[in-house]
A and B are shown apart, each in its own frame.
Chain A
Amino acid sequence: MSEYVNITIDDRQIKVRAGEKLLWAALDNDIYIPHLCAIREKERPNAGCRLCFVEIEGDTRPATSCTRTVEDGMVVRTRTPRVDRLVKTAFELILSDHNLKCRECPANRNCALQTIAKKRGIKLRQGRFKTIVREFELDESPDDFAFDRSRCVLCGQCVWADREVAKTGAIGFANRGLNRVVTTFRDRPLAESNCAKCTFYADVCPVGAFYYKKAAE
């Protein structure tokens, strides 16, 4: 098997490493595909955010590019009516469950949601779905950073950083369905957990859920 394969994305021919996932092949070549949950080093993709859809010639329906391995001769489109429709709906669903007060958010102007909205021309203030209102307690217990779950999009970046980079295992996902959250063991405040109090979380969070207290001032 050769080390590289040739694929076509949006009429551009590119040469990419065999075995690569389509999403990274595109991003490496400056072709934008929205994504929140993809982690390059993670062998089995989360595939949870459902934003990275593309259409692949020969497939009957759009596929998530973070789960598809490139194949020689693959012909891919990042913008088709079906892709745009799915991405818009997924994005608006996420927004309907997100605390959308950008002006109060430390991640304002540095937020993955704002980027996606801009790149894809989707309004942040969506009108299709009612906002899901929920109460979350703000966790400000660590010295340098804080965690506001009302902004979390459940992308799993922080959980990965905690497990695989910091190797602490202080946080993880808990609960099912709409109650799914990122939390510590037994739902204790971060400062009381075995969280190493490093600031990895705030570095990787693509939105303003984990944030530096300094940035919020």
Chain B
Amino acid sequence: MSSNNPLDLYRKMHDEAQARIKSKEDKPQVLIGTATCGVAAGALQVRDDFVREIEEKGLDAEVVEVGCIGHCYAEPLAIIAKPGFPPVCYGYLDEGLVHRLVEDFLGGDDPSYEYALAALERNDVFPTFEDFPRGIYEEKLILENCGFIDARDIDSYISREGYSALATALTQEPQAVLEEVKAANLRGRGGAGFPAGLKWEAAIKSGGNEKYVICNADEGDPGAFMDRSILESDPHLVIEGMILCAYAIGSQMGYLYIRAEYPRAVRHVQDAIDQARERGLLGSSILGTEFDFDLEIFQGSGAFVCGEATALISSMEGRMGMPQSRPPRLASRGFRGMPTVLNNVKTFAYVPLIIHHGAEWFKSIGTEESPGTAVFSLVGKVANTGLVEVPMGTSLRQLIYDVGGGLPGNRDFKAVQIGGPSGGCLPESALDVPIDFDSLHQAGAIMGSGGLVVMDQDDCMVAVSRYFLEFTQHESCGKCTFCRIGTKHMLDTLVDITQGKGDTETLGLLEELAEDVRDGSLCNLGRTAPNPILTTLRYFKDEYKAHIEEGRCPALVCRDLILYYIEPPKCSKLCNVCVGSCPTEAIFTREDGLKEIDQEKCVKCDNCRKACPTEYNAVVKLSPPVLPPQKEKAVK
């Protein structure tokens, strides 16, 4: 019996997918995390090792590539799912461990729990990720499938109810999708937190028959990789979200703007589009209805500013990727002059979940003004780096200490940088700020792209600002005065400060200029570029002053303000390691046998400090007022 009801068509597709996936699960499976983060850690080698070992032992087991499960610190990672056992995740894999797992677990019946990170299903034998301290705080919505499904097999997604939200929506009026997204108060995850529903509604109100849906996967922030992970690990979730948006606003064509440096994401998304088209989930008459919609990938040129909405459109239209003044908004005049909805990867990824579980469910997670979850890439001085997803409203302290496992080696927390080059640095006193769009904004940071860098006493706040300003100054498109010339002067001033230059007026002028660039620039690149400066001036002014007034870098980072010194009581006399490590032959042996550094020759490369054996640790960095006796004499 054939039926044209999208739900019936979908059920049939789902049941077939499930049967196929289940039949695969009858035999053991090795799921390997081969998103870009895993590949960087050697996951492809691990994959090959598994395939080889399994073949050599003549076992019947399948090796499947999945995406990123977020525990990047323990990569390469694999999950072994063998009937009769809970699926178990293993980390830090190498050839030896692979050999052992294949022999003992796949070949025998010993899951080698001593090497396991966690089980993935509750069981009586071994703890799961939810039993980790971080599991209590984490809540995976859009990362739920990441690392557990085969991104290149659409059945993997469909068997987990994927595309059921679309099937349901197609039995209702487009208006119903819009109302649900509006009621959910879904806010854009590309940085600014603008309500997606209002954007969609504006595009509907603009009228006309030609409308576009575009997914912003430009992700240019240094260190950010969550959009890439989602596209690589669960592309259909984003595609389904875009189709739902297209249905709601009445669009026939959409694009994913993916940066060309993401070849894996591009491949996975292209495969996903092709498979969805084959199943009648994209193209004409989607799921047997009269709704037509198709998707194409547009590979971005790579400039950071192309992530900005109007610059992205210009670049898609073949012009230079430069921002334009708004209004008109994209919702009324976007791609090819037509009403356009542009949303971030994550924003679209929430949509199928909202349609599936309802707006009320979504609003029950997170805070009233910022419902849902926040996805961060946790990096820097934190034990568990990786992708995390927590409900909005979680405090920074919980995120860093409970989810991230705190700073390694019990080091002291100094600051957390949130939101990348457009974000800000927050101090200890701000750790109880809840993570949501508005609270972070008030504290001077932004949610931004979700990069979160934890810093300790060894990080210099002036150097951090300089680092981000180097980035924004380099990425300025040059169209407007404040950003083109203003970022240059701000950067020059920061460079001066890291060299101890400046006077009583320097900080005042820097702050004034930073405020003017924020208020006067044409687009958000320029408007947010001063944030790292403004927040560090607000919370860490003393550190700036130490550089200017005392010629001192308290974190011992700024090269021009530090020097290397070999502490006589610690030097072994018998070892010569530092002498050989120095590229400029600045280290010599004194008459008494101790080593000393000729400060004139030293280029501060840090080699000798790294080379000095840990049992001595005789080489130290110093910054005024602490100076070695020889220097003090010189100063006097």
Report the bound CA distance from A179 to B325 in whole Å. Answer: 21
B482, CB-defined interface residue at 8 Å: yes
Whether A130 lies near B481 (C-beta < 8 A) is: no
Whether A130 lies near B519 (C-beta < 8 A) is: no
1/0 per residue, CB under 8 A from B, across A164-183: the answer is: 00000000010111111000
B521, CB-defined interface residue at 8 Å: yes
Interface size on B, residues (CB 8 A): 28
Whether A50 lies near B481 (C-beta < 8 A) is: yes
A96, CB-defined interface residue at 8 Å: yes
1/0 per residue, CB under 8 A from A, across B324-368: the answer is: 110000000000000000000000000000000000000000000
Whether B489 lies near A177 (C-beta < 8 A) is: no
Whether B325 lies near A176 (C-beta < 8 A) is: no
Whether B476 lies near A176 (C-beta < 8 A) is: yes
Whether A47 lies near B522 (C-beta < 8 A) is: yes
Contact residue among A90, A96, A129, A154 (Cβ-Cβ distance under 8 Å from B482)? A90
Whether A89 lies near B477 (C-beta < 8 A) is: no
A1, CB-defined interface residue at 8 Å: no
Residues of chain B with a CB closer than 8 A to A129's CB: 485, 489
State which residues 486-539 of B face A: CB under 8 Å: 486, 488-489, 492, 509, 512-513, 516, 519-522
1/0 per residue, CB under 8 A from B, across A117-155: the answer is: 000000000001110100000000000000000000010
User: How large, as a class, is the contact surface on chain A?
Assistant: 20 to 34
Report the bound CA distance from A51 to B482 in whole Å. Answer: 10
Whether A177 lies near B520 (C-beta < 8 A) is: no
Whether A93 lies near B489 (C-beta < 8 A) is: yes
Interface centre among B476, B484, B512 (most CB of A within 10 A): B484
Whether B473 lies near A130 (C-beta < 8 A) is: no
Whether B480 lies near A47 (C-beta < 8 A) is: yes
Report the bound CA distance from A45 to B326 in whole Å. Answer: 10
Residues of chain B with a CB closer than 8 A to A61's CB: 519
Residues of chain B with a CB closer than 8 A to A178's CB: 473, 476, 478, 484-485, 488
A53, CB-defined interface residue at 8 Å: yes
A-B contact count (CB 8 A): 87
* Contact residues of B: prevailing secondary structure: helix
B438, CB-defined interface residue at 8 Å: no
Q: A47-B522, A89-B513 are in contact. Are A177 and B475 (CB under 8 A)?
A: yes
B303, CB-defined interface residue at 8 Å: yes
Contact residue among B479, B512, B516 (Cβ-Cβ distance under 8 Å from A180)? B479
B20, CB-defined interface residue at 8 Å: no
Contact residue among A47, A64, A89, A177 (Cβ-Cβ distance under 8 Å from B476)? A177
Residues of chain A with a CB closer than 8 A to B513's CB: 89, 128
Q: Give B298 Cβ to nearest chain A Cβ, in Å.
A: 20
Residues of chain B with a CB closer than 8 A to A67's CB: 325
Report the bound CA distance from A180 to B481 in whole Å. Answer: 11
Whether B478 lies near A177 (C-beta < 8 A) is: yes
B570, CB-defined interface residue at 8 Å: no
Report the bound CA distance from A177 to B513 in whole Å. Answer: 18
Q: Give A196 Cβ to nearest chain B Cβ, in Å.
A: 23
Contact residue among B473, B479, B512 (Cβ-Cβ distance under 8 Å from A48)? B479
Q: Give B357 Cβ to nearest chain A Cβ, in Å.
A: 37
Q: Give B321 Cβ to nearest chain A Cβ, in Å.
A: 9
Q: Give A81 Cβ to nearest chain B Cβ, in Å.
A: 12
Whether A50 lies near B480 (C-beta < 8 A) is: yes
Q: Give A82 Cβ to nearest chain B Cβ, in Å.
A: 8
Whether B325 lies near A94 (C-beta < 8 A) is: no
Report the bound CA distance from A154 to B479 in whole Å. Answer: 8
Whether A177 lies near B492 (C-beta < 8 A) is: no
Whether B478 lies near A90 (C-beta < 8 A) is: no
Q: Give A129 Cβ to nearest chain B Cβ, in Å.
A: 5
Report the bound CA distance from A134 to B425 in whole Å. Answer: 34
Q: Give A84 Cβ to nearest chain B Cβ, in Å.
A: 11
Interface centre among A44, A47, A51 (most CB of B within 10 A): A47
Whether B489 lies near A176 (C-beta < 8 A) is: no
Whether B485 lies near A64 (C-beta < 8 A) is: no
Report the bound CA distance from A180 to B303 in whole Å. Answer: 15
Report the bound CA distance from A132 to B325 in whole Å. Answer: 27
A86, CB-defined interface residue at 8 Å: yes
B541, CB-defined interface residue at 8 Å: no
Please provide the 4 A-B residue pairs with the shortest distance between their CB atoms, ordered closest to farther: A180-B478, A47-B325, A93-B485, A89-B516
Q: List 12 A-B contacts (CB under 8 A).
A: A44-B325, A47-B522, A48-B481, A50-B520, A50-B521, A61-B519, A86-B520, A90-B482, A94-B481, A173-B320, A178-B485, A180-B484
Interface on A for B, CB 8 Å cutoff? Answer: 44-51, 53, 61-62, 64, 67, 82, 85-86, 89-90, 93-94, 96-97, 128-130, 132, 154, 173, 175-180
Interface on B for A, CB 8 Å cutoff? Answer: 303, 320, 324-325, 473-482, 484-486, 488-489, 492, 509, 512-513, 516, 519-522
List 18 additional contacts besides A62-B520, A89-B512; criterion CB under 8 Å.
A48-B479, A49-B481, A50-B481, A51-B481, A64-B325, A86-B519, A86-B520, A89-B486, A90-B482, A90-B516, A93-B485, A128-B509, A154-B478, A177-B474, A177-B477, A178-B478, A180-B477, A180-B484
